[in-house]
Amino acid sequence: MKNNEGNYQKNYQDNKMGRFLSLVLRHQPQAAGITLDQNGWASVDELIRGVNRTGRRLDRAALDRIVAENSKQRYSFNEDRTRIRANQGHSLTVDVELKQQMPPAVLYHGTAQHYVQSILQQGIRRGTRQHVHLTEDQKLAAKVGSRHGQPAVLAVDAADMHQAGYIFYRSENDVWLCEHVPAIYMRVEMH
């Protein structure tokens, strides 16, 4: 029983630390007193020291575990594992060196039902992030939408968008990205 409690506590702490790392590596590096380079990379050693200066506890083993076990694979190490960055989702201007790719025929975007009417008029906008986030997984889109209220899933005709000249990228963690999805390329899949 103690082992289960210990695992639960470790998972809880890792999850909490993962949310803080997401904040630092995607939005506010100053929250840990660090800087990101133009490609979003941070020194692992500086990140650990910076996080610990905030009163939180992070060591290399915990960081390795958080990166490896994050269900959304939000973070990547460089080849020699001395630098770390978020794979996508930045509100900061960074170039995570995404490569253009041809998207599948249909991608999905999860949102809350109360946003659907506005989206059907204006399209999907990136808001404060660098890109609109799309997925090949309709269930994942519904899960994302449920974070903001009653979920709705929009199907995006990515093939037609690509044919019309819209550029798509695929992040290290398999999130499809583009700058904007005009309303004419989508339909409500689940409402």
Segment 116-129 mean pLDDT:
90
CA 149, chain centre distance (Å): 19
Pairing relationship of beta strands 176-178 and 169-170 according to DSSP bridges:
antiparallel
Segment 108-132 mean pLDDT:
91
108 vs 106: CA distance, rounded Å: 7
With the CA atoms of 7, 10, 16 and 21 taken in that order, what torsion angle do they form, in degrees rounded to the nearest 10?
-130
Per-residue pLDDT at 191:
65
Which of 34, 13, 12 minimizes the C-alpha distance to 23? 34
Query: Could you give the domains of the chain?
Result: 2-86 (1.10.10.970), 106-190 (3.20.170.30)
175 vs 191: CA distance, rounded Å: 22
Q: Are 101 and 175 in contact (CB under 8 A)?
A: no
Q: Pull the structure tokens for residue 190.
A: 């689940």
Segment 48-62 mean pLDDT:
96
Per-residue pLDDT at 172:
79
Does 57 score more than 60 pLDDT? yes
Please tell me whether the overall predicted TM-score, pTM, comes out greater than 0.75 for this model.
Answer: no
pLDDT digits (tens, 9 = 90+) for 141-156: 999 889 888 999 999 9
Helices 60-69, 2-26: axis angle to 10 degrees equals 80
Instruction: Return the amino acid letter for 158.
Output: A
The mean pLDDT of the chain is: 90
Residue 97 — φ and ψ, nearest 5°? 60, 45
DSSP for 35-63, please give it.
Answer: ---TTS-EEHHHHHHHHHHTT----HHHH
Q: Pull the structure tokens for residue 94.
A: 């960074």
pLDDT band at 8 (very low <50, low <70, confident <90, very high): low
157 vs 187: CA distance, rounded Å: 8
170 vs 129: CA distance, rounded Å: 15
Residue 57 — φ and ψ, nearest 5°? -115, 120
pLDDT digits (tens, 9 = 90+) for 125-179: 988 777 899 999 999 899 988 988 899 999 999 999 999 999 999 987 788 999 9
pLDDT band at 117 (very low <50, low <70, confident <90, very high): very high
Instruction: Return the amino acid letter for 35.
Output: T
